[in-house]
Amino acid sequence: MIFCSFMGSRVHFLCAFPICDSTRNVGYEFPPMNPDKHGSDKAMEAGVKHLLGEPGFRNLIKMKRIMLPVPLACVLLNPAGFQSWAGPQPADGMEIAAADSLERLTATRPASQPGTTNTMTTAAWKKYSGNPVMGGNYGTCFDLSVLKEGKTYRMWFSWRPKQSIALAESKDGIHWSEPPQIVLRPRRETKWEDEVNRPVVIKGDDGYHMWYTGQAGGQSRIGYARSPDGVVWRRMSETPVLSPEDPWEKVAVMCPDVIWDARAKVFKMWYSAGEQYEPDAIGYATSSDGLTWIKHAGNPVFKSDPGAVWEQYKVTACQMVEDDGWYLMFYIGFRDMDHAQIGIARSKDGISNWERNPANPIIRPDPDRWDHDACYKPYAILEGEQWLLWYNGRHGSLEQIGMAFHKGRDLGFPR
């Protein structure tokens, strides 16, 4: 287990003793923490409490062993940047993992590119230093969908104060048109969409397609609309196209993400279902017309991993990207109801045999910043050899939209 505190250009790590087991998990074994000794480093203590919460911090003091499914995560920093506490010789990740008496490391934080910051990210992801890029005076802006059309980015997002879905445009993905333009409003007369939010928008030869979440009466359902221009939308049904019916779906289906499979001539949807406040897991459905959906018999197709603390509680609100023969899933993992981070997984069919990225979670909350409590709903675009990722962060009750970058197409999955 590694805990780190950032002090100027230095990064201090409090490490445990690496151990391995027969399942190829790597764990860290350490003497019980002395709160008087380690508590003197206030930045370290604050960081641990932020990651684990006050109860988790108290439990950590009593803990002697913890097993994790990844090696000593030198993905946090360039491995060549590590120096042992005992001397100046560089130590790479394998040397660190093999150490039998390592207690503390010091490393130099890699320099950020202009306009980015690499705090609370892994695997070469860097947050835009000017985050958030949408929110502020507009109040809570959250769960979004982005298309790049020519030289223009178009972002449809959930605008909570208006209980509507709004559109903004940008030339760089950072600076967005103001004020946002409402393009889909609630319709209380239908009894299922007192609020509309969480859209996904795709564009085909026949125009724009939007699937969105309608909420009313303590339930969530999914609706469908179409548009010739992405601005003026026409609902395709007075009733939801997807509703909670199966036991695991409880009272809510929401957060749709849809891909058109041109070869099979079918829409593929991944959606979240379960509780109303935050759904529990991710399901899959298909449709030939966007209206009538057939749910996968093996739902849910993606569930939380109890062995990974950061996503032990729930997984929700995924976005799917087809890349090099894989379905990549960007998703939210919940440690508990109020704390969330962003991870990646991949599957050959988008349904089974999911492989989680070893660097997960790739985007984490920054203490005392705009995303202090949670990082939600990722939406990523591969542009040339760079990934652009938008997400909404929460601090207290306010959610705003920020951005992160990843240089290079390779996201760090095993080859």
Q: With a cut of 90, say whether residue 243 has pLDDT above it.
A: yes
Query: b/e per residue, 43-53, with b = 16+ CB within 10 A?
Result: ebbebbbbbbe
Q: With a cut of 80, say whether residue 262 has pLDDT above it.
A: yes
Of 18 and 141, the structure prediction assigns the larger pLDDT to 141
What is the spatial distance between Cα 306 and Cα 100, in angstroms, rounded to a whole number? 28
Q: With a cut of 80, say whether residue 184 has pLDDT above it.
A: yes
Would you state the pLDDT for residue 111?
44
Of 42 and 223, the structure prediction assigns the larger pLDDT to 223
Dihedral sign, Cα of residue 310, residue 313, residue 316, residue 319: positive
125-407 has CATH 3.40.50.720 classification: no
- Beta strands 104-108; 181-184: pairing state: unpaired
Please report, for the chain, the start and end positions of each structural domain, with discontinuous segments joined by +: 2-111, 125-407
What is the spatial distance between Cα 220 and Cα 198, in angstroms, rounded to a whole number? 11
Q: With a cut of 90, say whether residue 48 has pLDDT above it.
A: no
Residue-wise pLDDT for 300-316, tens only, equals 999 999 999 999 999 99
- Residue 285 has which token pair? 């459905």
Q: With a cut of 70, say whether residue 28 has pLDDT above it.
A: no
Q: Which of 47-53's residues contact partners 24+ apart within 8 Å by CB, and which partners?
A: 47/3, 47/4, 47/5, 47/367, 48/3, 50/365, 50/367, 50/372, 51/3, 52/309, 53/336, 53/339
pTM of the model: 0.75
Would you state the pLDDT for residue 31?
37
Q: With a cut of 50, say whether residue 22 has pLDDT above it.
A: no
Of 139 and 12, the structure prediction assigns the larger pLDDT to 139
CB 336 within 8 A of CB 354: no
CB 255 within 8 A of CB 270: no
Would you state the pLDDT for residue 415?
87
Residue-wise pLDDT for 325-340, tens only, equals 999 999 999 999 999 9
Residues 6+ apart with CB under 8 A from 87: none
**Count of all residues that appear for the chain in the document:** 415
Among 57-61, 95-99, 310-314, which range has the highest average pLDDT? 310-314
| Average pLDDT in the chain | 81
